[in-house]
Chain A
Amino acid sequence: MARTKGYPEALEKKLHEQRFFREDSNPEFSKKVKTLSRTIPHMCYQCGTCTGSCPSAPRSTYRIRKFMRRVVLGLENEALTDPDLWLCTTCYSCSDRCPRDILPTDVIMTMRNLAFQRDIIPVNFLKTVTAIYASGHGVPNNDVNRAARERLGLTRDPPTTHMYPEYMPAIRKIIDHYKLKANADRIIKEREG
């Protein structure tokens, strides 16, 4: 936490937001992200190739380079509570091009996992869990798609759980093993009542 200087609370808060304080930095966070992501986020030299490559950046306030910076400095709360964390499309363009051979995508995925441990997660991600639990698909097939597939000479449903629903129990077993569905249900209930 930030140093207290005895200023009025509002000013204190404002100052804290403006400056980087050593006390905010959690070196353990940097190490943890490095271990879990199996890449080398501490080697980022802030060249911006990732943000320059990112399809999400010009359409949002999401800046992958900024998240890399937060990992370098161990700014755990700032990274995990920033809603932009969830705007990566996992296209891997940044990972393809990063000259330091870092995999920023995997760093983002790691931070999402760490955020989820603290129940920080947008509801739409949880709804995806529910959808996979129900159908095996994050985005289940729909009639528009079915018609398009037919026009292309494909089966109406793809050869996935849509065609072979008998595999659904196995998928549910995996999800249950990680208590993903239970947690998703709990959080959705807390947020939406």
Chain B
Amino acid sequence: MAEKKSTTKKTESKKDTKKVAPVKQEVKKQAAAPAAKPKAEEAPAKSPIDNLAKAEDARIGVFICHCGTNIAGSMDIEAVQEAAKTFPHVAYVDNYKYMCSMPGQTVIHKAIKDHKLTGVVVAACTPRLHEPTFRTATKDGGLNPFRFEMANIRDQNSWVHMHDREGSTDKAKDAIRIAVAKAALLQDLHPKAVPVEKAAMVVGAGVAGMQAALDLAAAGIKTYLIEKDMSIGGRMSQLDKTFPTLDCSQCILTPKMVDVGRSPNIELMTWSEVHEVEGYIGNFDVTIRKKARGVMTPKEAEAKGIVGGGCNGCGDCEGVCPVIKPNEFEIGMKPRKAIYVNHPQVVPLIYTIDFTSCVKCGLCVTACGPEKRAIDLEMKDEFVKVKVGTAILATGYDIFPIENKQEWGYKRYENVISSLEFERLICASGPTGGHLVRPSDGETPKRVGFVLCAGSRDNTGTGKPYCSRFCCMYSLKHAHQIIEKIPGCVPYIFYMDIRSFGKMYEEFYYRIQDEGAKFIRGRVANIIEDKATKNLHVMADDTLLDRPIDMEVDMVVLAAAIQPAADTNRTRKLFGVSCSSDGWLLEAHPKLNPCGTTTAGVFLAGVCQGPKDIPDTVASAEGAASAASIPIHMGEVELEPYFASCIPEKCAGCGMCVNLCPYSALSLVEKDGRTVMQVTEAKCKGCGTCGGFCPGGAIWMNHFTTPQIVAQIDAFLLGGEQ
């Protein structure tokens, strides 16, 4: 390929403008040291502008990728290449079918050496996808990896302008011209390594959070498991059996719950929530609010000098408590007291006082007795601070308030229940001892209607647009359970599609149909209650018969949609995690990084990221645990060196930037008898708020410096057609 130093008119005009850019001039004056000789191991300079690259010395290589036909199919690579040769500072241009492939990267290595390049521009997909790849290639060629700049000519060009060959070719030329202008001014940068705290946090102790904590603990990592409820277990502990194998949910969950309670590496904090998060990957300072539970654990009692005291779970208090409230765990179908455990298998087995309903009569204190002295009616919320290296969010889901879809009569008709209520009614430890009965009269139903997609796949704004993903399968399970438990009882499943995509799921569907479940393909239009019998008329269209139907049943189960758990939004904001428009937490990449988030060091497990059944939940939890353990095992993490730096000569010490920084990374210090600003690099996220603000231009945003950005703008505005 031709090497060419550009001497076109455009270069002249560009240089002129550079001179009028005051910041740039200033910086150049100070750039006394010669252009940095690219050497990877070179120590970082003391002042950010000491060893500034000089554009005059730059020799930039441009590498244009075809991405198969992704790019080459929509633009004239040859024309782009010819144009690139004429750009200032360009010393070498080449193109290749797949720049990211091994041979493609070799083209880069070789060119750096053969043509003594000082910077590399790859025109290809996106930095999100391949910036790491090409940085490594740049480094392997002998340059500092930050001497690399990418021109996005695929995602933001060939893909969008697929039918405008000329337009996309021109746009690619511009993108490369801009990238070259920046590349000519790139500096060597050196990532900072910070140590990683050898501890992790998991928020939410459903099956996802428990599995993640168990894995981390097994890998030797101290893990704080934070659960807002009184017990760990999450939704799975409310289920009776689990599809498709029909094992008893509690039986497979309880051993895990016990393991969590026993693991020396897990510090379990129930009745607690995350209050504040500070810091960054490797060093998160998390404040946890331990809500006042009114009852002390043996450990807490001992700390207060009550040796041998604390709650032992005997339940004597519960018996005497005069306050009766509906038990949320049983969805209000069973009573509880103000001091209670919501089900017998709670872990840890410590009673809890619901202070919103406690009348402070003190009867429980007497019942608990002078030895244990576990109850403290004046207990206050406590705040505990811990330091962790990484964190996993596993906050799970809630059931969508299905009464909002008024046509199905939930909360208006007694015999219309939700799927979670069904789980409790069919469960031997539930409020009816496992007998499915009609709430209106306690009779055993003989015909049960199941309404699938209740509130899911709904674009009306009342329901949820997504598929809740496990309701088809658990409705099949429910059908099986009533056939098994109630001889002669017929389940009628109203469905649009049966989504049985998992391993052994379609086989399960086959089995349930074989057992006698009746499937009616039609979404339920509405339900009408017979006021006398409290029977229900399910109105639908049997779309396969093309006939409207009015099916009289004794009971209806709504397979209600799910939504993110109540406190998810507040919690995710503390950790700087985004969510999609439906509220589920946003993964770093839906396919290639489903457990990561855009906040380094924070990961997602289970349903909080999107609806998942138990097998998928556990798999994602193990993935998140593995990902979260990597930085901890590495011992240190590299921070992108994009932090702000202060040019002390220019800083007036006004301190106005200090308050602007959203990450509290700036402070004022005394230096050589002057007050100047100082950056705590590990805290700085490189957002640029301070850099854009500083009236004296004293803040240098590494890798996004004012001269670099001005050069990019100039290249675009003054570049024009050659």
Contacts and interface: CB of A to CB of B under 8 A. Distances in A.
Contact of A63 (B539, B546, B549, B550): B546
A98 B496 CA distance: 13
Contacts of A101: 459-461
Contacts of B543: 46-48, 51, 65
A100 B459 contact: yes
A50 interface: yes
B541 A45 contact: no
Nearest to A54: B548
B453 to A, nearest CB: 8
Interface in B473-524: 496, 521-524
Contacts of A45: 496
B458 interface: yes
B526 interface: yes
Contact of B457 (A53, A63, A66, A99): A99
Contact of B525 (A52, A63, A100): A52
Interface string A63-98: 101100000000000000000000000000100011
B407 interface: yes
B540 A52 contact: yes
A82 to B, nearest CB: 13
Interface string B126-160: 00000000000000000000000000000000000
A50 B541 contact: yes
B459 A99 contact: yes
A48 B541 contact: yes
Dominant SS at the A interface?
A: helix
Contacts of A51: 522, 525, 541, 543, 548
Contacts of A49: 522-525, 540-541
Nearest to A62: B548
A63 B541 CA distance: 9
A65 B525 CA distance: 12
Nearest to A64: B541
B442 to A, nearest CB: 30
Contact of B539 (A52, A66, A100): A52
Nearest to A63: B546
Interface residues of A, number: 22
Chain B: interface residue count, which band?
20 to 34
B463 interface: yes
A140 interface: no
A58 B550 contact: yes
A54 B459 CA distance: 20
A53 B526 contact: yes
A143 B679 CA distance: 90
Contact of A99 (B463, B526, B548, B550): B463
Nearest to A59: B548
Contacts of B453: 99
A48 B523 contact: yes
A70 B521 CA distance: 19
B523 A99 contact: yes
B546 A66 contact: yes
Nearest to B549: A52
Contact of B460 (A52, A53, A58, A99): A99
A57 interface: yes
Given A58-B548, A66-B546, A97-B407, A52 B524 contact: yes
Contact of A47 (B407, B496, B548): B496
Interface string B535-551: 00001111100101110
Interface in A1-57: 43, 45-54, 57
Contacts of A52: 522-526, 539-541, 548-549
Nearest to A52: B525
Contacts of A100: 459
Contacts of B459: 43, 99-101
A77 B194 CA distance: 72
Interface in A87-118: 93, 97-101
16 contacts: A46-B543, A48-B540, A48-B541, A49-B525, A50-B541, A51-B541, A51-B543, A53-B526, A53-B539, A58-B550, A65-B541, A66-B546, A97-B407, A97-B525, A98-B460, A99-B460
Given A46-B543, A47-B523, A49-B540, 8 more contacts: A48-B525, A49-B523, A49-B541, A50-B525, A51-B541, A52-B549, A65-B543, A97-B407
Interface of A: 43, 45-54, 57-58, 63, 65-66, 93, 97-101
Interface of B: 407, 453, 457-461, 463, 496, 521-526, 539-543, 546, 548-550
Q: 8 shortest A-B CB distances, which residue pairs?
A: A52-B525, A48-B541, A51-B541, A47-B523, A48-B522, A53-B525, A57-B548, A52-B540
